[in-house]
Amino acid sequence: MNEDGAHSETVATQGDEQSLQQGHPNHPKAMRVEAVLVALPLLIGALVAEYLTPFPNFLIAGPVALILLLVVIMLPHRRYAVRGYALSEDRLRVVRGMMFHSDTVVPFGRVQHIDVDRGPIERYYGLATLQLYTAGSHGDVISLPGLAHQDALDMRETIRAHIKRASL
Amino acid sequence: MSELSASDPNREETPDSAAVGESTDGEPKRTDPRTFLVQAVQTVPRTIVPLVAVALATRDEGSFAVPVMLGLGVLLLAAITFFTFLGWWRQTYRVGESDIRLETGVLSRAARSVPYERIQDVSLEQGFVPRLFGLTSVKFETGAGGSDEIKLAYLSNDEGERLRELVRELRDEADGVAASAAAQEAREEQGAQEADAQLLFAMGPRRLFVFGLFEFSLALVAFLGAAAQQLDFLLPFDIWDFDFWRGLVAGQGEQLAELGPIAQALGAVAAIITLLVVGVVSGIAKTFARDWDFRLERTPKGFRRRRGLFTRTDVVMPVHRVQAVRIGTGAVRHRFGWKSLKLVSLGQDAGNASHVVAPFAKAAELTPILEVAGFPLPPRGLAWHRTTGSYRVVSALFNAVSFVLLGAAVAVATHLFVPERYDWLWLVAAALAVMAGFTAIQQLFLWRVERHAISPRHLYKRSGWLAPGYKIADRVKLQSVEIARGPLGRMFGYVTLNLGLAGGHFALPGLPREEAEALRCALLASMVETDFSRLVK
């Protein structure tokens, strides 16, 4: 896979505008817990399939377990490393994605409303997801996960203050 | 209009700021406790009816069935009650100084903030049951379209009224200029509703007839076929029996065969002509029914479109809500210079975000409409850009390979599994192979014709090969900019520029990365100049 290439390339393209900030260090941990929650049912499914079919031992469950292990161990940190955001005076830039890379900018002047969401796992790690809604049909929600809760609240205040100022 | 705000009569009703300040204490509140009763009244019947049905169905299953069902029912009701209560307990709203906030969720917490400046309207809605309890639900609409709004269910009538007034006052305070301008506009509209409507485009019967010819459709033929299939027991023969038709047309039987090959050919021609006539007539009929007396006018309120023979529709769309325009055509009608014009508008009209304002017009007729909408045709001397060659090559290969694979799969399956009378599946495989070639060639032509350009105010995209069209977006009215790149794009060096547009989608695929970044920079610069609240006024 191309993840290493992707990573260095992203870092390279960041230089020309403004430097990207990374999310809270707890974010990869939260992503790992989520990955485990996705992986467990798949593993159980593989074990059941193993039990039901006449193949030799671990022909199905072995590879599945290996792939899931790689996904759980490697992927969260790589995904975390590719992600980033930049909050400037009048816009928010969100960069994400290893295979399918996406680099979105939304000006505060187009934000309709702002959500700060926290799932159970995020709450455990003290994280929150900031979501900006625009009126656009494509990309109407710009979602920025993995922020410290307080940071997300502060960013919401910043953006809200900008909206208030701009529409006066 | 903004200068009028100081003397606007609407402003006099606004209480002094002290009163407003007092009521925006920002205390988190819950919705009215009686919400709980309303939800119970609404939920319990829905739960009990199926339970009773199940109980009735299982009453013969033994003496324990009914008590067990009852017990389960009570447990279910208790659980629903408990979770409804939790949901109510954990939902709080707060009327802050500059926004309304709603926090919900038992396990996952969601906090939503809607700034007053973004609230377009506050609507109160009373259902039947809430009305009995003197409750109302309050909805804050942001004009985003869709479900991303705050809805408080339920509040007491007084609280609902108070909130609506409060939000209106706070919003007026936040952008009083625009609000009073809107009120001013509303008064103007009443005066000059019909007075100075300027006709922009209309279609008479003759135009409709020509339009109908191009709207040739075999939908009616398909419909007749389907009806025949449903009612085939009424027919004296089996219409799905191919031999019957061959006998009828090509003369396997006696009569036609005796008349020789000329008559056979005549039979085939007659069948095709019948099909064509049905297609043309149904196309014309459909067009007349839909677009009869088509009139597009410029009124003070905006564009006003009336059309229809049986159902006459009358649609008004404010000019400032037009986000982008699309000029389209068809492969055949393009040769005769006919075009259509659609307006992409802020998703206000349910179901359909874009409005056809000129379904069948010459280019010269479109120009005045485009000028009124504020989306002029591309001026001369714009710098037009093509997509990268690599994007076209990748697309051509990708399309061709997918069609070839599909065709090969059909061919293999036909060869291996299918009985002989389905031999026509070979034709399908061959058609797929032809499609593979066509899509590949199409991409190469598209590389020549598809291009985009920016002017100081607009973004233009020319697309299509046999039926070339334009899409024009206002640079200021874009919502967000995304540069996206998939695995193929990474390998061959191109990205897609996705632009958020209210009520539509504007994508420029296959750009070199540097160009996409330069475009994004330019577009963002024009976007940040104007706040959304000024766009919708």
Q: What is the three-state SS of B337-391?
A: CCEEEEEEECCCCCCCCEEEEEEEECHHHHHHHHHHHCCCCCCCCCCCEECCHHH
Contact at CB, B480 and A133, closer than 8 angstroms: no
Mean pLDDT for B346-357 is 60
Name the burial class of residue B453, with classes exposed (0-12), middle (13-18) and buried (19+) by CB atoms within 10 angstroms of its CB. middle
Winning range, highest mean pLDDT, from A51-65, B72-86, B204-218, B450-464:
B450-464
Instruction: Kindly state whether residues A103 and A62 are assigned to the same domain.
Output: no
At residue B1, the pLDDT reads: 34
Q: Are residues A57 and A122 in the same domain?
A: no
Instruction: Check if A147 contacts B (Cβ < 8 Å).
Output: no
Tell me, yes or no, whether A25 lies in a domain. Answer: no
A91 in B contact zone (CB under 8 Å): yes
Do A49 and A108 share a structural domain?
no
Contact status, residue B357 vs residue B305, Cβ threshold 8 Å: yes
A63 with A104, same domain: the answer is no
Q: How does pLDDT run across B438-478, given as a tens digit for each residue?
A: 989 999 899 988 999 999 899 999 988 888 899 999 998 88
Residues B157 and B177 in one domain: yes
Contact across the interface for B480 and A120, Cβ inside 8 Å: no
Q: What is the mean pLDDT of residues B294-302?
A: 85
B415 and B524 part of one domain: yes
> What DSSP element (H or E) covers A8?
helix A3-14
**Is the per-residue pLDDT at B56 higher than 60?**
yes
Q: What percent of chain B has pLDDT over 90?
A: 21
**Among B268, B288, B317, residue at a domain's last position:** B317
Collapse the DSSP code of B482 into the 3-class scheme (helix H, G, I; strand E, B; otherwise coil) and give the result. strand
Would you state the pLDDT for residue A3?
Answer: 38
One domain for residues A120 and A162: yes
B425 falls within a domain:
yes
* CB contact (8 A) between residue A112 and residue B142: yes
State whether B405 and B430 are in the same domain: yes
pLDDT of residue B179: 43
Residues A124 and A53 in one domain: no
Inter-chain touch B115–A115, beta carbons under 8 Å: no
Q: Domains in chain A: how many in total? A: 2
Q: B299 in contact with A at a CB cutoff of 8 Å?
A: no
Is position B369 within any domain? no
* Domain total in chain B: 3
Task: Say whether B125 sits in a helix, a strand or coil.
Answer: strand
Q: Are residues B259 and B210 in the same domain?
A: yes
* Residue B307 is assigned to a structural domain of this protein: yes
- pLDDT category of residue B23 using cuts at 50, 70 and 90: very low
pLDDT at B473 (0 to 100): 92
Query: Residue A17: inside a domain, yes or no?
Result: no
Is residue A56 domain-shared with residue A106, that is, in the same domain?
no
Interface test with B, best of A10, A34, A112 (most B CBs within 10 A): A112
Q: pLDDT category, B391, cuts 50, 70, 90? A: very high
Q: How confident is the model over B129-180, as pLDDT tens digits?
A: 777 788 888 877 775 545 557 788 788 888 888 887 787 777 666 554 444 4
Q: What is the pLDDT of residue B244?
A: 56
The CB-based long-range contact list for A73-79 (8 Å cut-off, 24+ gap) reads: A73/A32, A75/A31, A75/A35, A76/A28, A76/A29, A76/A31, A76/A32, A76/A35, A77/A28, A78/A3, A78/A7, A79/A28, A79/A31
Tokens of B17: 């700021």
Residues of chain B contacting A157 with CB distance shorter than 8 Å: none
Is residue B122 situated within a structural domain? yes
Please check whether residue A3 lies inside any domain of the structure: no
Q: CA B223, B229, B230: angle at the middle one, nearest 5?
A: 90
State whether B240 and B142 are in the same domain: no
pTM of the model: 0.68
Q: The domain that contains A156 carries what CATH number?
A: 2.30.29.30
pLDDT in tens, A151-166: 999 999 999 988 888 7
Domain termination residue (choose one: A18, A51, A77): A77
Q: Which of B141, B165, B188 is the last residue of a domain?
A: B188
What is Dmax (Cα atoms) for chain A?
Answer: 72
Domain boundary among A77, A96, A114: A77
B392/B480 same-domain check: yes
Is residue A13 in a domain?
no
When computed from its CA atoms, the radius of gyration of chain A, rounded to whole angstroms, is 20
Same domain, B41 and B114: yes
Domain assignment of residue B333, yes or no: no
pLDDT at B95: 83
Rounded CA separation B44/B327 (Å): 53
Q: Are residues A120 and A50 in the same domain?
A: no
Question: Quick one: B179 and B233 in the same domain?
Answer: no
pLDDT 10s digits, A86-132:
998 889 999 999 889 999 999 998 888 899 999 999 999 999 999 99
Same domain, A130 and A161: yes
Q: Which of A23, A47, A77 is the last residue of a domain?
A: A77
| Cα–Cα dist B272/B277, whole Å | 9
Q: Are residues A69 and A88 in the same domain?
A: no
Q: Round to whole Å and give the CA distance between B283 and A31.
A: 56
Please tell me which of B28-32, B385-389, B499-503 the model is most confident about, judged by mean pLDDT.
Answer: B385-389
Q: Is the omega angle on the peptide bond into residue B154 within 30 degrees of 0, that is, cis?
A: yes
Does one domain contain both B444 and B471? yes
What mean pLDDT comes out for the span B60-69? 69
Say whether B464 sits in a helix, a strand or coil. Answer: coil
Q: Which domain holds residue A45?
A: 32-77
Q: Which of A4, A10, A20, A103 to mutate to test binding with chain B, by most B CBs within 10 Å of its CB? A: A103
Residue at token pair 């899509």: B439
Residue in A2, A100, A136 closest to B500 by CB? A136
**Is the pLDDT higher at B481 or at B218?**
B481
Please name the member of B113, B479, B484 whose beta carbon is closest to the beta carbon of A156. B113
Residue B524's closest chain A neighbor by CA? A107
Residue A50 pLDDT > 90: no
Is B479 within 8 Å of A134 when comparing Cβ atoms? Answer: yes
Question: Looking at the domain assignment, is residue B345 inside a domain?
Answer: no
Q: In this structure, are A115 and A90 located in the same domain? A: yes
- Dist CA B167 CA B116 (whole Å): 7
pLDDT score, position B537: 54
Statement: residue A32 has pLDDT above 90: yes
Least confident of A27-31, B193-197, B362-366: B193-197
Asked if A167 has any chain B CB less than 8 Å from its own CB, the reply is yes
Distance from CA of A137 to the nearest CA of B (A): 5
The torsion of the CA quartet A10, A11, A17, A23, rounded to 10 degrees, works out to 90
Same domain, B208 and B178: no
Q: Is the pLDDT of residue B184 over 90?
A: no
| Predicted local distance difference test score (pLDDT) of residue A158 | 92
Q: Are residues B169 and B35 in the same domain?
A: yes
pLDDT-based confidence at residue A6 (cuts at 50, 70, 90) = very low
A135 part of a folded domain = yes
Mean pLDDT of B270-285: 85
Domain limits at B296? 197-317
Inside any domain, residue A8:
no
pLDDT tens per residue, range B198-242: 899 999 999 999 999 888 776 666 776 666 555 555 555 555 555
Q: Is the pLDDT of residue B24 over 50?
A: no
Residue B374 lies inside a defined structural domain of this protein: no
Whether A116 is in a domain gets the answer yes
Q: Which of B317, B347, B372 is the last residue of a domain?
A: B317
At B107 the pLDDT is 81
Q: What is the pLDDT of residue A78?
A: 92
B99 shares contact with chain A (CB less than 8 Å): yes
Residue B354 is assigned to a structural domain of this protein: no
Tell me which chain A residue has its CA closest to the CA of residue B353.
Answer: A137
| Same domain membership, residue A161 and residue A88 | yes
Q: Supply the mean pLDDT for chain B.
A: 77
Q: Mark whether B133 and B13 lie in a shared domain.
A: yes
